[in-house]
């Protein structure tokens, strides 16, 4: 399941020795679609599909990716310099209850991003040889 998002916010939790230390909350058209949880000093738990109302309606299924706190800075850097973005996560079985374990979780672009090119400085190339 893919959940594109066009806005995000970052929360850094205070006084966390181990456990959930930060979150990136993702919205699409001003509606919450999922989040990335970052864990400190512990293995991240399994990513999951969160269905607080117990529904199979895709608009009421939220994706929760779990990552190590070491990835917080690189993820924020990616979000600042690219996009459009989406979360992707697939259920490991039928949707049951308020949450279902997932697999294949990732943060991805929803379209190709052009690689910036710098103008070729021929003079600099000649001087270096």
67-97 pLDDT tens trace: 999 999 999 998 988 788 999 999 998 888 8
Of residues 6 and 57, more confidence is placed in 6
Instruction: Check whether 45 has a pLDDT greater than 80.
Output: yes
Of residues 47 and 83, more confidence is placed in 47
| Measured distance CA(54)–CA(64) in Å, rounded | 15
How far from 99 is each of 22, 37, 120, 128, CA to CA, in Å?
Answer: 20, 15, 53, 60
How far from 33 is each of 28, 45, 60, 74, 114, CA to CA, in Å?
Answer: 7, 19, 8, 21, 26
Instruction: Check whether 128 has a pLDDT greater than 70.
Output: no
Per-residue pLDDT at 107: 94
Instruction: Check whether 125 has a pLDDT greater than 60.
Output: no
The structure tokens listed for 57 are 């309606």
| Measured distance CA(3)–CA(8) in Å, rounded | 13
Q: What is the pLDDT of residues 1-40, one digit of tens each?
A: 999 999 999 999 998 889 999 999 999 999 999 999 999 9
């Amino acid at each position: 399941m893919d959940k594109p998002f066009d806005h995000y916010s970052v929360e850094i939790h205070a006084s966390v020795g181990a456990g959930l230390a930060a979150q990136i909350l993702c919205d699409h058209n001003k509606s919450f679609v999922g989040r990335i949880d970052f864990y400190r000093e512990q293995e991240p738990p399994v990513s999951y599909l969160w269905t607080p109302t117990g529904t199979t309606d895709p608009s009421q299924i939220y994706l929760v990716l779990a990552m190590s706190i070491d990835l917080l800075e690189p993820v924020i850097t990616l979000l600042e310099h690219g996009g459009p973005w989406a979360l992707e996560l697939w259920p490991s079985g039928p949707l049951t209850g308020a949450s279902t374990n997932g697999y294949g979780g990732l943060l991805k672009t929803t379209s190709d991003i052009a690689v910036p090119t710098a103008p070729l400085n021929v003079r600099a190339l000649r001087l270096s040889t």
